[in-house]
Structure 1
Amino acid sequence: MSACTPLLGCPELAEVEILEQIGQGSTKSVYRGLWRGHQVALAALAEPSLRADFHHGLQMLRSLSPSEHVVQLVGFCGDVIVTEFHRRGDAGAAAVLVRAAGGGATAARLALRLCQSYAAALAFLHDSPVGRRVMCDSNDLHKTLQQWLLTADDRLVAADLDALPDASAGPVRCGRRLIEGEFAAPEQRWRHGREPPGYDEKTDVWKLAAVCEHFLSAAPDGEYLKLELHGIHKRCRSVPARLRPSAAEVVEEYDRVVHGFSESEYVSPSMVSPTL
């Protein structure tokens, strides 16, 4: 659907035909639907006690649109949000996509493109028109990938914005439950005291390295690509958050690696015979 089309309201959304359920979360149920020949994704509030979170997500979609980094908002009415439908689903399918691309430059470029797209979207959220937004629903890799959709042109767009606090005025906290696991940033894994510590968008940068390496691991030359990006990813994993690069700096490094070889010149390390 064209981004220039006015947002649909209640009368138009009453025409949406529900085809099938494609997702279920604690806050909302998601369906594939059809509106005047166009496939759309319809999200309906599933838990009334989480209505504030649901409408926060709607407000973020309205405030951040239009943007190439955020799913296109089509319309809304009450406790229903309709967005553009992406047939590839969420970013959990990205690794399958990379593996299906085959070997050599094709898979390598696709994996790097996904890394670029993810980092660029984070850079946008961290310097957005409505502040320094932090992705809170990202305590493990699986949950993080569910927040993003795969487009037909191999990009990632942010789709679940229900938990996106603003760090502009000071540190934020992603809930009050203990966060565990190596995926979360160190400052999020508090161990002492009643109150969790505050933090900012650098928690997203810590996780950025793991997300990119997940994509790279699906490429035949993934280990080689990880070595190419070892320096920037090591900085992303700096324990003091202040030492981590910004997401924009990570984008620049990804761009450098991508521009470092062309498809015609690229030779897969796995195809090079070892020196005797």
Structure 2
Amino acid sequence: MIMAIRTSCAYVGFFVFLLCITSTKFYSYKYNVTWNQMANRKPDFRCIWSVVDNKTKCKPVCDHGYFGLYGMKTCHQWLNCTDIKSIKGFEKIQTDTIGYVKKVWISKWDGYEVVVKKIRQNLNGPTSHDEFHSGVQFLQDFSNHPDVLQIVGHCNETLVTELHAMADATNLEKHLRQNKEFDNVFVRFQLCIDFVRIMTTLHSGHGGKVFAHCDAGNVNIMLQQYLLTDDFRLVISDVDSLLGFDIRDGVSQKRMCPFKSDRNYFQPFNAPEQYFNHKLKTFPYDEKIDIWKIPNICDRLLYRNSIKRGVLPHLTALHKRCESSDPKGRPTALEVLKIYEYTYKILKKDSQIY
């Protein structure tokens, strides 16, 4: 059973005054629901205000093995090979970031825009192929989780997912310049909270493992692995290189990310224990390598000094703990999340901070 956070937003006037009312509901993923049963059920819907389409749009919240895209009235089974072969009209995604492992296009299925990803041929060794299929499995395991990119279907070395038109989080400043009413402390700090909440999901464990990022050599590479939704929230999308740490007796077992010639870990963004140098002996680590990165990521998401001055003083002690040279001295992702959420409440009470 996975907890999904549903948010409804009301907008007043031409300039947006955002009032978010959050309610919590539990969705049970039932694996024995048939297609006919699913088609006859009335699904719950998640609705957002889309800055891309300038309107409210909704999609059904579906069980495992099914997907729902914005505009759909009912859930549909994951697309199979026959369905995917029938997809026509491939448009290359225009982005400054180019995937090394996958080629990516925007296409349409049954009139709905989707993203088609195909692994690059004759470019990567077995490790990249294994990571691709590991990523597909992860998206299946966390299907329809609100923090994870929704899978639409897959076939061999082709993956189909939902589309988020604003692309990855490195595009944040461009989209905020185009939507100035959203460029405020609340939207930006909510993105920090989203990042840590997703990390909490990864570190909470699934299938006897917790997960951490391997392919995150700097801030930009990390942000490229997250997509901006139409309502300025984050979902994790590039999960191919997540490393699973086995859990034994409630403790994650240390290991190292697989070696790749293009994968380097530079300080100060990466934790000391993850720092990679061919001339130095490296030691195994655990998911606390992610905690070290939190201050740098949040600093980038806040971006403007006027906003940083209002937020970062509240987080000085916490961020210092995140960057402890001893991994055991770092807080858990859940601890960081609770402090971030508490800080957000404080900021909401102070209308002078922007």
TM-score (norm. length: structure 1): 0.89
> Matched residue of 1:262: which SS?
helix
Residue in structure 2 matching 1:46, options 120, 138, 145:
120
Residue aligning to 2:332: 246
- Name whichever of 47-56 and 236-245 sits farther off: 47-56
Q: Which residue of 2 aligns with 1:6?
A: 77
Counterpart Cα distance in 1 of 2:306 and 2:312: 12
In structure 2, stretches of 5+ residues that fail to align are 1-58, 61-66, 68-74, 248-252
CA distance in 1, matches of 2:226, 2:194: 11
Residue 228 of structure 1 is aligned with which of 311, 314, 317? 314
Does 2:296 match 1:203?
no
Give the aligned partner of residue 175 of structure 1: 258
Question: Offset of 1:18 from its aligned partner?
Answer: 3.3
Deviation at 1:5, TM superposition (A): 2.1
Letter in 2 for 1:171: K
1:119–1:251: 8 Å Cα contact kept in structure 2?
yes
Higher strand share: 2
Residue of structure 1 equivalent to 2:351: 266
User: How is 1:124-143 mapped onto 2 (pairs within 5 angstroms)?
Assistant: 124-130=201-207, 131-143=209-221
Alignment CA distance shift 1:71-1:35 (3 Å): same
Contact 2:166 2:175 in 1 (8 A): no
Q: Distance in 2 between matches of 1:18 and 1:160?
A: 23
Question: Which stretch shows the higher mean deviation, 205-214 or 187-196?
Answer: 187-196
Question: Structure 1: which amino acid aligns with 2:120?
Answer: A
Structure 1 partner of 2:187: 110
Give the equivalent residue in structure 2 for 1:75: 153
Question: In the alignment, residue 254 of structure 1 is paired with which amino acid?
Answer: Y
Distance 2:347 2:275 in 1: 39
The offset of 1:260, in angstroms, is 0.9
Tell me the residue number matched to 2:30: none
2:103 pairs with one of 29, 40, 45? 29
Q: Does 1:120 align with 2:197?
A: yes
Secondary structure at 2:192 match in 1: helix
Q: Which protein, 1 or 2, shows the higher relative CO under an 8 Å CA cutoff with sep ≥ 6?
A: 1
Q: CA deviation at 1:217?
A: 1.8
Task: Give the letter for the 2:159 counterpart.
Answer: I
- Could you say what the CA RMSD is over the residues aligned between the two structures, in angstroms? 2.2
Deviations 1:215-242 (A, max 9, x none): 1123732232122221211111111111
Alpha-carbon offset, residue 193 of structure 1: 6.8
Q: Could you tell me which of 88, 91, 111 is aligned with 1:17?
A: 88
- Identity, in percent, stands at 28
Selected match of 1:160 from 231, 238, 246: 238
Equivalent residue pairs, number:
267
Alpha carbons 1:98, 1:110 under 8 Å: kept: no
Structure 1: gaps spanning 5 or more residues: 270-276
Query: Which shows bigger deviation, 118-127 or 180-189?
Result: 180-189
Q: Deviations over 1:167-213 (max 9, x none)?
A: 12411212336522311111111558765211111111110111011
Q: What are the within-5 Å matches in structure 2 for residues 92-107 of structure 1? A: 92-98=170-176, 102=180, 107=184
CA distance in 1, matches of 2:132, 2:169: 21
